[in-house]
Amino acid sequence: MIEFKNVSKVYNNNIFALSNINLKIEKGEFVFLVGPSGAGKTTFIKMMLKEIEATNGNLIVNGQDITNLPRKKIPLYRRKLGVVFQDFRLIPTLNVYENVAFAMRVIEASPKEIRKKVPVVLSLVGLAKKYKAFPHELSGGEQQRISLARAIVNNPSILIADEPTGNLDPDTSMDIMDTINDINRAGTTVLMATHAREIVDNMRKRVIALEKGIIVRDEKRGAYGYED
């Protein structure tokens, strides 16, 4: 599903953001990516999204070596990914339904498909009754649920979550994690970068810990393990 083979990333200042990373994430796994600020988590995520390129090594996703993927093929590759960020990134002028439908319009889904799929996904995240609301009318937790709905509406094989609970209170964060866990149980591979100790410790999923660009821990049922 996801494989890093001897992957390194060196920026212009000769600092190794990632150094000789080797790992495999199997289909259907739920993996937390943890580590202190500057450990390499952001570089890891950006490399998955093809926002930056590896200096050395190979990155294989869904059986495809994307290391030297031509720029024109990157949009098609990204359609296989669902992405959720800390800052929600909703379109403020679109309501809940329209924000989720937008992701389907990007891939040129038919109006019939959109009308069928969007209500189903909104029900999954518990916001079917608020489909006419605009982002500014929603709580932070509700906005993140819409981000989740938008990320999964096209049935991605992988959900990448970059600090998805960073702007949320603890109770809301756990609600969001319950939803992400449900998405994972339905078969979607989840890769989540986080500083949320309580979430990682409670869920006991696989934990990959980075420090200064190196994997220092890879535990099947791991804990957060840092004093941030």
Q: What's the pLDDT tens digit per position in 40-62?
A: 999 999 999 999 999 999 999 99
Which residues span the domain enclosing 24?
A: 1-80+156-228
State residue 86's pLDDT score: 86
Domain boundary among 110, 131, 155: 155
> Where in the chain does DSSP place strands (E)?
2-10, 16-25, 30-34, 56-61, 64-65, 81-85, 158-162, 189-193, 206-211, 214-219
Please give the pLDDT value at position 228.
54
For 199-206, what is the mean pLDDT? 96
Quote the number of domains for the chain. 2
Q: How far apart are CA 192 and CA 94, in angstroms?
A: 27
Contact by Cβ (8 Å): 208, 200: no
The vertex-193 CA angle with 192 and 195, nearest 5°, equals: 125
Residues across the chain: 228
**pLDDT at res. 14:** 85
Q: Which residues pair with 215 in a beta bridge?
A: 210
Do 3 and 74 belong together in one domain? yes
Could you tell me the pTM of the whole model?
A: 0.93
Q: What is the CATH number of the domain that holds 65?
A: 3.40.50.300
Average pLDDT over residues 222-226: 88
Same domain, 121 and 62: no
The pLDDT value recorded for residue 227 is 66
**Residue whose tokens read 């938008």:** 150
Sign of CA dihedral 180, 84, 114, 73: negative
Tokens of 141: 């937790």
pLDDT tens digits, residue range 2-34?
999 999 999 987 889 999 999 999 999 999 999
At a CB cut-off of 8 Å and minimum separation 6, what does 218 contact? Answer: 23, 206, 207, 208, 209
SS (H, E, C) 170-204: HHHHHHHHHHHHHHHHCCCEEEEECCCHHHHHHHC
- Same domain, residue pair 7 and 114: no
pLDDT at residue 161, as a whole number: 95
Residue 86 included in any domain: no
Contact of 2 with 25, CB cutoff 8 Å? yes
With respect to residue 87, please indicate whether it lies within any of the assigned structural domains.
Answer: no
Q: What integer pLDDT is reported at residue 21 of this predicted model? A: 97
